[in-house]
Structure 1
């Protein structure tokens, strides 16, 4: 929305606002006030005729004819209704100021007539757009000032100053009124869009809709569906926002950061995927933000409530085939001593396949000594010269089967004849492990994307650079409901 002229920057939204929200109200107000003025001028024509006031009769009859023509034209051509409101306001006001015959009218009746005319003028200003009202108020007030200056015998400076201030005050109030009206329309439009989005969601989906108030920096719950395993009501939802974390940050602070990023980049929509830790469980969620009158947030919980069924029969068949393959390979390789290296390579690949096929079904936390774990992996890779620099032998609690997969994948993509492995602590006393050498970084990065959730569970942070792979282990791991 343009901050000065108060129009929506999206032409479709502006057109919708004018047609669906404003046009019918303006047409009703225009017709009612026009008919009211017509009745008033019919009365004035009859009265001036009865009083044999020729000047009053002619001026009132002329204005009556104009009002009838105007209402007929703009009723039939209501696409020009905004112009019709401006013309009606100007014509009636200028007539009462400059052309009305006040013969025989005392001060009390003149005051009452002026109040009625001012009320009608301001009602027309409120009905129109802010720009229309601003033009009307400024022009008519300037006309009143100039008319008073040139027609008055004495100068009342207080009246001139008051009239000038009124231009500013009325314009300010008119600005705030139209801004609030348009903001309310944006909020209604946002609600409608969210309803359309939610109607397209499956009934089984679990989601939470929040709204953020920038005045008091608070979240309010708009809607909850299928979240009984996390929270059942608004109070528990607020507790979830304060207790759940993402990368060691409280969820309400994480969402607030997303809102600030969303507003800073002036995006139409914002979508992101994140892992949420809550009560020793990890949930993969999608967050979407829409900026209406207030930022509205949709949290869609994906991989917490629905456990994927495992086809045990298919897995059993795969294992049987793999065992037969292992037996056949070992029988062939053992016959030739010069095939020892090839045997080790095949052995490592089979172990890797075995781990990949089982890690989703066997997720367990276990305490291990990192150096001993690495030494066991090194035994499988005797064809590579490996130098170790262990500055400590840290004990870590981790998902061993997943860590085995990650380490084996690193060893499978070694491209140099020698690598260096170092373990130790960071300045923050975090456990780290560094691999230095030449690696096939493209395959490692592809693997990291495929196992992204697993990497986030195992490591607090990691870096994959040209000749260095650095991993910092998490202090604790929350076992997720399912891992992809």
Structure 2
């Protein structure tokens, strides 16, 4: 919030505050005050005509003509409403000071008190800057009237009036600041309600605030693991976690900057990071408030639901295969090699995925041709592999790489698959696969097994013709128990 103008620094927040809390009240107040002012001028004009007081008729007609557009022309923006209220106030005070006939002292005192009450209401309805300017303008008009019509200059009274108006401006400042602070507190309460709703679902979390002045993240609370709870441990975690060649802290900072531009709560963003050679799937949300608040959670549902769904599918597949084998034996059906190869391929694939999901694997150095041969053994077609380079060694997890090769073979339309090593000297191994691949099916496989493939691949790119993979220089392991990980 700007300390002088009392406006929120973020324009979206300012617009929301005006539209939600001020615009409806000001529009209603302008409508009521305009109608009341027109009625007042009308009755004064009728009385002046009856009394044949021509000296007041013309000022009343002029005032009526000036204020009539405020009644007839609709205003659409908050700025127009504030300007209309200010101008009506100035016109009304100008008429009373310079054109209203001088009457008995008691009547003048009564008019003066009514006028001041109306001024105070108008001043508190407006924004702080508008109210301050209006208060100064009205003071100048009264001092001008006093100097012009008074026989002597009453300096103490003028100084007292200036002091009272300064005090009035200070009180307006305190009042408007309290209103805006209350609005921020309301938003903060809503933010914490949203945060608590998220925490209820998953108890393992990190809660951060972003200090905009110090430009750093501050740990509020953490139940993420036994070793990641304090400020130093949490900051170490987000700094040492990597996502797409940048730290998790840098990525969060980028997201917070985008959040500052639109101030819309960003909920349940899924992201995979690697930390201490482990791959974790996280959900994080950014909530609006006086300062951005970030909630980071382990996606436990991902690990549990994936395992349960695959176990159900595998059990159903095994049951169907057993039923098919029983029917073959019972009905003495003739042996069909193609059907057998289809069944064998499904069993091999499901068994391989099951081993991977149960973390039954290890990393090792292996010849590329050897792992290719193992993937081709159980294929139901005779594929010809054209290796457009010399045989080379890769350090990988053979079961996962074998699964990837099996998917490539399964998605091929013809019997020739081209494989080429694209790396240059001292570069990471990059391999390109081609040969009329069914890319829609391949992308579906990649989405389903993304978590495991990212353990060995830096990235996997699919275009209309080729699938290109870049191998990791350092092999990761799946997330198991983060409590056992050393923090630095």
TM-score range, shorter chain: 0.5 to 0.7
Q: CA deviation at 1:273?
A: 0.6
Q: How does 1:411-422 map to 2 (within 5 A)?
A: 411-422=409-420
Deviations 1:86-108 (A, max 9, x none): 98xx99xx99xxx9x9xxxxxxx
**Aligned partners of 1:17 and 1:391: how far apart in 2?**
76
Could you say which residue in structure 1 is the equivalent of 2:69?
Answer: none
- Mark the runs of 5 or more structure 1 residues left unpaired by the alignment: 19-82, 102-117, 156-162
Could you say which residue in structure 1 is the equivalent of 2:431?
Answer: 433
**Aligned partners of 1:16 and 1:234: how far apart in 2?**
43
Match of 1:217 among 200, 205, 215: 215
Q: CA deviation at 1:419?
A: 2.3
1:194 aligns with 2:201: no
Q: How does 1:73-222 map to 2 (within 5 A)?
A: 129-130=127-128, 133-143=131-141, 146-147=144-145, 150=148, 181=178, 184-200=181-197, 201-202=199-200, 205-222=203-220
Query: Structure 1 length normalisation: TM-score?
Result: 0.62
Match of 1:256 among 242, 253, 258: 253
**Aligned partners of 2:22 and 2:123: how far apart in 1?**
20
Q: CA deviation at 1:282?
A: 2.7
**Aligned partners of 2:369 and 2:422: how far apart in 1?**
10
- Mark the runs of 5 or more structure 2 residues left unpaired by the alignment: 1-6, 26-84, 105-115, 154-160, 482-488
**Aligned partners of 2:12 and 2:454: how far apart in 1?**
49
Closer, same or farther in 2 for the Cα pair 1:175/1:332, shift >3 Å?
Answer: farther
Deviations 1:354-402 (A, max 9, x none): 223332113433113233212332344452332111345032133x323
Match of 1:458 among 443, 456, 475: 456
**Aligned partners of 1:259 and 1:427: how far apart in 2?**
39
Q: CA deviation at 1:252?
A: 1.3
Counterpart contact for 2:128–2:173, Cα < 8 Å? no
Could you say which residue in structure 1 is the equivalent of 2:388?
Answer: 389
Deviations 1:199-218 (A, max 9, x none): 43427511222121222211
**Aligned partners of 1:5 and 1:307: how far apart in 2?**
40
**Aligned partners of 1:421 and 1:248: how far apart in 2?**
27
**Aligned partners of 1:254 and 1:152: how far apart in 2?**
70
Counterpart contact for 1:290–1:296, Cα < 8 Å? yes
Counterpart contact for 1:391–1:422, Cα < 8 Å? no
**Aligned partners of 1:5 and 1:347: how far apart in 2?**
61
Deviations 1:99-126 (A, max 9, x none): 9x9xxxxxxxxxxxxxxxx9xx999968
Deviations 1:318-369 (A, max 9, x none): 7688578679989999976xx5555444432331122233321134331132
Q: How does 1:322-471 map to 2 (within 5 A)?
A: 340=337, 343-369=340-366, 370-381=368-379, 383-391=382-390, 393-398=392-397, 400-425=398-423, 429-471=427-469
Q: CA deviation at 1:296?
A: 1.6
Q: CA deviation at 1:445?
A: 1.4
Closer, same or farther in 2 for the Cα pair 1:312/1:215, shift >3 Å?
Answer: closer
**Aligned partners of 1:203 and 1:454: how far apart in 2?**
25
The number of residue pairs the alignment matches comes to 383
Q: CA deviation at 1:421?
A: 1.0
Closer, same or farther in 2 for the Cα pair 1:198/1:266, shift >3 Å?
Answer: closer
Q: CA deviation at 1:317?
A: 9.8
Q: CA deviation at 1:434?
A: 0.8
Query: Structure 2 length normalisation: TM-score?
Result: 0.62
Counterpart contact for 2:241–2:247, Cα < 8 Å? yes
Q: CA deviation at 1:464?
A: 1.0
Deviations 1:300-323 (A, max 9, x none): 222399878979998899768857
SS in 1 for 2:188: helix
**Aligned partners of 2:12 and 2:141: how far apart in 1?**
23
Counterpart contact for 1:415–1:439, Cα < 8 Å? yes
SS in 2 for 1:390: coil
**Aligned partners of 2:301 and 2:308: how far apart in 1?**
16
SS in 1 for 2:200: coil
Counterpart contact for 2:281–2:298, Cα < 8 Å? yes
Could you say which residue in structure 2 is the equivalent of 1:278?
Answer: 275
Counterpart contact for 2:206–2:295, Cα < 8 Å? yes
Closer, same or farther in 2 for the Cα pair 1:147/1:426, shift >3 Å?
Answer: farther
**Aligned partners of 1:459 and 1:181: how far apart in 2?**
55
**Aligned partners of 1:241 and 1:387: how far apart in 2?**
44
Q: CA deviation at 1:470?
A: 0.5
